[in-house]
Amino acid sequence: MNWFAGNESKWIGAGNGGAAPYFFVKFKCPAPAGVRVAICGLGYYE
């Protein structure tokens, strides 16, 4: 699966005005639910 394709992908970061490291995540990728929740909890950037 290509995590960088599709419109469900998001840039996420720690919510520090964009100064924190960003992660590009495809939320419909196969992953344990606990991991996905932890990632989503960091904040969304669109």
**Within-domain flag for 32:** yes
Q: Please give the model's pTM, rounded to 2 decimal places.
A: 0.16
pLDDT tens for residues 1-46?
444 444 455 555 545 455 555 555 555 545 555 555 444 444 444 4
CB atoms within 10 A of CB 2: 8
Domain that residue 33 falls in: 9-45
**Within-domain flag for 40:** yes
**Within-domain flag for 2:** no
C-alpha to C-alpha distance for 44 and 41, rounded to whole angstroms: 8
| Strand intervals (E) in the chain | 9-12, 23-26, 44-45
**Within-domain flag for 1:** no
45, 13 Cβ separation under 8 angstroms:
yes
Q: Identify the pLDDT of residue 13.
A: 54
24, 4 Cβ separation under 8 angstroms:
yes
- Tell me how many domains the chain contains: 1
Write the single-letter amino acid at 26: K
**Within-domain flag for 36:** yes
**Within-domain flag for 22:** yes
